[in-house]
Structure formats: structure tokens, C-alpha cells
Amino acid sequence: MLIVISGPSGVGKGTVIKELLTQLPELQLAISYTTRSPRPGDRPGKDYYFVSPEEFAKIDFLESAEVHGFKYGTPNKEYQGDVLFEVDIQGANAIKAKRPEALTIFILPPSDEELAKRLVKRKTEKPAEIKIRLETARQELKRQWESDYQVVNDKIDHTVNKISEIIKLELEKRKGENK
């Protein structure tokens, strides 16, 4: 099963996914390519493959998109087992269009104010970049209903439990359908 997690920048997708992988160790994380520079704490080859725009242009992608001025893409390869993708809403829709059986989950912030607070607190973007991310978030939130499920990230353990339940339920459903 392809499991696509999307949601605005700063909503906590990275932390949610890290915890999910601990709870459901059979899941694999697909590693995206990006042209943005690594941030402190980013692990090249684990969080992303960091490449130049020239290298990016040569790669075969299942989907790719421009987000906040940089390119991001999911490599087009044979994914085995249950794979998690962390992409923006454009990516989620592109994967769903090509692979309609994919499960799409959108993570929401408890409020706009909370999202702004989280972006400021993580100190990884300059004020101008935060402004762009908040504007993108507003646009993305309007499109949350295009995903199969919406989950509010209020408390990390609640969020992870909810998503883990959704994944288990959908895996069971698919097993039933394949009998």
C-alpha cells in the first residue's frame, strides 16, 4: 500500500512520521529528492537526497513539484510492501491520480496561529520564508478535503495513534478486498 502523508510546512509531519515508523516498523519511508539545501539536522540520503537543479532534471519521478521555490520529487521506482510518502498536496494529488489505490492522509494544525508559532519556533526559516510557508499553508488547508483522511496534530502521541489506526484499518480493508 502507498501511504501519502501531506500537510502544511511546520505542521509536524517529520515528527509524526518518525514516530509512526517506530510504531509500525514494517513501513518503509520513500526518500525524496530536493534542490533545497540541507538544514541543520537533515541527514542526506535519509531525510532527502540533496541534488543540484541539473541533477534533479535528469531523474525519473513518479511526481515532482515546486514548493516554496525549490523542487521536490518522489523517484519513480517499484515500491515493495507498505511505503510512506511525505509530500505536499500537489504531490499527494499526483500520486493519487497515478495510483488511485493510494491512501492519502492530510495533517492539519490545531489553528493558523499555532502553525505560525511552530514555524517561528523551529528557527529553520527566515521571516520572509515563514511568510511564504504560511501563505502556502492557507492554500493547502483549503484543499484538505481532497485527501482520504484529515487528522489534526494537536498532541503528537494522539496524532500518531490516530494515523496508525487509519493505516491498520486500511491495510485490513485491502486484505479483505484481495481475498
Among 1, 2, 3, 73, binds ligand 5GP (CB under 6 A): 73
Among the residue ranges 19-27, 71-79, 143-151, 159-167, the one whose residues contact ligand 5GP (CB under 6 A)? 71-79
Task: Compare residues 1 and 67 and give the one whose CB is closer to ligand 5GP.
Answer: 67
- How many residues make contact with ligand 5GP (CB under 6 A)? 15
Contact letters (x/-) for ligand 5GP, 30-49, by CB under 6 A?
--x---x-------------
Window 78-137: residues binding ligand 5GP (CB under 6 A): 86-88, 90-91
- In sequence order, what DSSP letters do the residues of the chain get, joined into one string? -EEEEE--TTSSHHHHHHHHHHHSTT-EEPPEEESSPPPTT--BTTTEEE--HHHHHTS-EEEEEEETTEEEEEE-----SSEEEE--HHHHHHHHHH-TT-EEEEEE-S-HHHHHHHHHHH--S-HHHHHHHHHHHHHHHHTGGGSSEEEE-SSHHHHHHHHHHHHHHHHHHHHHHT-
Binding residues for ligand 5GP (CB under 6 A): 9, 13, 32, 36, 63, 65, 67, 72-74, 86-88, 90-91
